[in-house]
Amino acid sequence: MQKVKSAYIHIPFCVKICTYCDFNKYFIQHQPVDDYLTCLIEEMSWAKETNLTTMFVGGGTPTALTVDQLERLLSAINKQFNISGEYTFEANPDELTEEKVALLKKYGVNRLSLGVQTFDEELLKVLGRSHQRADIYSAVRNARKYGIPSISLDLMYQLPGQTMQQFDESLTEALSLDVDHISSYGLILEKQTQFYNLYQKGKLNMPNEDLGAEMYHFMIDKLAQHGLQQYEISNFAKEGHASAHNKVYWKNESYYGFGAGASGYVEGVRYSNTNPVNHYIEQVKAGKRPIRTEETLTLNEKIEEEMFLGLRMNEGVNKLRFEEKFGQVLDDYYRDELQNLEAKKLIYNTPTHVALTEEGRVIGNYVFEAFIK
């Protein structure tokens, strides 16, 4: 059984709720944040493996915590785990004060993922973000001042009323910061968001899908021209800066998930933790693992996941690893599917890898479905 070498920690609190957001998060005011941290620390202490190669603290927004809460969490993580590689914290630009960056640095955080979304002041307001354009610059300045070696920016496109020119300007500004990693996602209208309600009432001017696709291709070219190569459907990095933690997910490897609503994959079992926060706290205080769902994957399910997660990466699925993991030859297991997709020019099938072509990437979900038996 594969050893767990990665962990995700979920901080489900935000100082402001964005209009498009359907993530697992709560408005921080009146939330039992200290109790939550106590339980999170307790849950982490139940982990069998303590030597990790990657750690990702996300949310919600981890930087919504106060300085004291943040220090409590950071120090507990360091007591529990020895993190030898990439250690990422998600942060909102307006919350990344010098004091907080100094703390993150002191406890070994070596990568920041900044929720920028756009540099356009008007669009930031439309998205309901708590930060302004200037905050992005000061967050990056603070991160560099305290020697955080790696910075990633999260961007969005296909936003309400967004023109190609506005998106281009945001990309230009992001590139001017010379960061080593960018993640960029097209807006998807999710139910139970303010955006969705506005859209239903005909009050949200969404760009059409063609413009969204145009923005996507424009972005791939523009980022590549500036040394940020696409390595996954929505992720771009300078040489050597692809996210090691995210690759754990896409390579279908094991990881712990700690916190309310967090998911994990341990010893062939996919699980998700209970939510909401109060329920999670009750479970942990009662000494119970706060599990909401747990599923032991069959060999067939593991193989399917290996394909559709691995195909998200430009490098694709490694055939040798596939054989080592599952005792099956990929070309035999998916003979008809591979032939069919290759004939449609949706995949490359090389002696070592199966990967999506440019066309395949545009209709990735269709290709992934072909591998479900």
Residues that bind ligand SF4 (CB under 6 A): 14, 17-18, 21, 23, 25, 59-61, 92, 115
Q: What angle do CA 5, 73, 155 make, to 5 degrees?
A: 75
The nearer residue to ligand SF4, 17 or 244, going by C-beta atoms, is 17
Nearest to 143 by CA among 86, 78, 95: 95
The nearer residue to ligand SF4, 14 or 179, going by C-beta atoms, is 14
**In whole angstroms, how close is the CB of 64 to ligand SF4 at the nearest point?**
8
End-to-end CA distance of the chain: 24
Q: Is 222 helix (H, G, I), strand (E, B) or coil?
A: helix
**In whole angstroms, how close is the CB of 112 to ligand SF4 at the nearest point?**
15
The nearer residue to ligand SF4, 12 or 316, going by C-beta atoms, is 12
**In whole angstroms, how close is the CB of 263 to ligand SF4 at the nearest point?**
16
The nearer residue to ligand SF4, 260 or 367, going by C-beta atoms, is 260
d(CA 51, CA 5): 7
Percent helix, strand and coil across the chain, each rounded to 5?
45, 25, 35
**In whole angstroms, how close is the CB of 43 to ligand SF4 at the nearest point?**
21
The nearer residue to ligand SF4, 140 or 313, going by C-beta atoms, is 140
Nearest to 154 by CA among 189, 121, 129: 129
Q: Which two tokens stand for residue 110?
A: 């070596």
Phi, psi (5° rounding) for residue 298? -75, 165
The nearer residue to ligand SF4, 23 or 196, going by C-beta atoms, is 23
**In whole angstroms, how close is the CB of 128 to ligand SF4 at the nearest point?**
7
Q: Which two tokens stand for residue 366?
A: 């269709």
**In whole angstroms, how close is the CB of 20 to ligand SF4 at the nearest point?**
7
d(CA 282, CA 288): 9
